[in-house]
C-alpha cells in the first residue's frame, strides 16, 4: 500500500492522495500529466436498486496509480507510474482489511473504503480474496521449503494468525492475520440490517473440501480461511507430476501448458502439437 495512490480527476487538474502523503503531483513528463483524461473513471453503473449515496459511483473500472519512486524537490513528484485495478490490488496487498456485519463495506489499511451494492457480491469477493491470498502464501511456503530455508521470522510472518478471536483493539472477529470481521459500525439506517445478516445462516458448499454447511457469514469466512491454510499440502502424485512438468519444460522450452476442454485434461504441447490435438477432435 506504500506505493499506491488515489487520483482525483477534476476538470482542471489531477489531485493525488497517497497512503502516507496526502498531496502528491505527477511528474510533468508523465503521460497521465499530459493526458489526465486517462485517469477518469468510465462506465459508471447506474442502478435504481442501489443506495442513493452510491449512485453514480459504482464501477468495475475504479483504478489506483502505482509508482516506483518518489522525487522530493520543492514538490513531491511520482516517478514511473502505472494504472492498477483498485479492488484487486488493494485487497491483495493490504495488511489489514476490516468489514461490517454484512461485509458490504471494507476498509483497507485504515485508508481506503470499498463498498458493494449487495451482500452476495461482497461474500463472493471475500471468498475469492481468501482463496487467492491463501494460495499465494502457501506457494511461497513451498518455495521456501524447496530452498531449504528455515527462517523463523519468515515462518512467523507467513503464519495464518489467530482464528476466530476477538480483536483486542478493533473489536469484531479476527478471521486471520489480515481480515477482521464485523469491526466496522454500521450506519444508523443499516444497523438493524447488520444485526440480522450477522446471524443469518445459509446453505453453502465449500469449493475446497466440498463440505455441505449451514453457516453465517462469520462461520463461512472462518471455514474458508482454515480450509485454505490446512488443505494445501500437495500429495506425492501431485509433486511427481509437477517435477515431471518441470523436466519436460527444461528439455523442450517450446512446450507450454495447454488445457483441452473436450478431454478435460491439461497437457504440455508445442504449438504444432496443439494444432494436431485440436484437429484430432474435429476428425
Give residue-wise pLDDT tens across range 244-268: 766 666 667 777 878 888 888 888 7
- Residue 229 and residue 101 share a domain: yes
Average pLDDT over residues 211-238: 70
- Calpha distance 146→139 (Å, rounded): 11
Residue 37, Cβ density class (10 Å: 0-12 exposed, 13-18 middle, ≥19 buried): exposed
80 close to 32: Cβ distance less than 8 angstroms:
no
Q: Is the pLDDT of residue 121 over 60?
A: yes
- Residue 175 and residue 191 share a domain: yes
- Residue 126 and residue 60 share a domain: no
How much is the mean pLDDT over the chain? 76
- Calpha distance 65→108 (Å, rounded): 16
Count of domains forming the chain = 3
- Last-in-domain residue among 62, 90, 118: 90
- Calpha distance 161→183 (Å, rounded): 17
Q: Quick one: cell of 30?
A: 508523465
User: What phi and psi values does residue 274 have, to the nearest 5 degrees?
Assistant: -65, -45
pLDDT at 91: 92
- Structural domain for 173, as ranges: 94-233
Helix count (H) and strand count (E) of the chain? 8, 15
CA distances from 166 to 130, 180, 182 (A): 19, 9, 10
- Residue 269 and residue 203 share a domain: no
Amino acid at each position: 500500500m506504500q506505493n499506491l495512490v488515489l487520483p482525483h480527476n477534476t476538470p482542471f487538474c489531477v489531485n493525488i492522495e497517497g497512503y502516507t502523503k496526502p498531496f502528491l503531483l505527477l511528474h510533468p513528463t508523465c503521460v497521465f500529466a499530459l493526458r489526465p483524461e486517462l485517469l477518469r473513471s468510465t462506465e459508471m453503473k447506474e442502478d435504481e436498486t442501489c443506495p442513493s449515496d452510491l449512485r453514480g459511483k459504482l464501477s468495475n473500472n475504479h483504478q489506483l496509480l502505482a509508482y516506483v519512486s518518489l522525487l522530493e524537490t520543492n514538490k513531491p513528484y511520482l516517478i514511473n507510474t502505472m494504472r492498477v485495478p483498485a479492488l484487486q490490488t488493494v485487497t491483495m496487498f493490504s495488511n489489514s482489511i476490516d468489514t461490517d456485519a454484512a461485509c458490504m463495506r471494507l476498509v483497507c489499511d485504515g485508508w481506503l473504503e470499498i463498498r458493494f451494492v449487495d451482500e452476495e457480491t461482497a461474500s463472493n469477493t471475500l471468498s475469492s480474496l481468501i482463496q487467492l491470498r491463501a494460495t499465494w502464501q502457501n506457494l511461497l511456503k513451498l518455495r521456501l521449503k524447496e530452498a531449504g530455508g528455515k527462517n523463523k521470522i519468515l515462518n512467523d510472518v507467513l503464519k495464518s494468525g489467530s482464528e476466530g478471536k476477538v480483536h483486542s483493539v478493533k473489536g469484531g472477529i479476527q478471521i486471520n492475520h489480515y481480515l477482521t470481521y464485523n469491526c466496522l459500525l454500521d450506519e444508523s439506517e443499516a444497523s438493524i440490517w447488520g444485526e440480522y445478516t450477522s446471524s443469518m445462516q445459509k446453505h453453502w458448499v465449500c469449493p475446497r473440501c466440498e463440505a455441505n454447511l449451514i453457516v453465517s457469514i462469520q462461520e463461512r469466512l472462518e471455514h474458508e480461511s482454515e480450509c485454505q491454510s490446512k488443505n494445501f499440502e500437495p500429495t506425492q502424485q501431485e509433486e511427481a507430476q509437477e517435477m515431471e512438468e518441470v523436466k519436460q519444460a527444461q528439455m523442450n522450452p517450446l512446450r507450454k501448458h495447454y488445457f483441452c476442454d473436450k478431454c478435460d485434461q491439461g497437457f504440455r504441447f508445442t504449438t504444432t502439437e496443439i494444432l494436431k490435438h485440436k484437429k484430432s477432435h474435429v476428425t
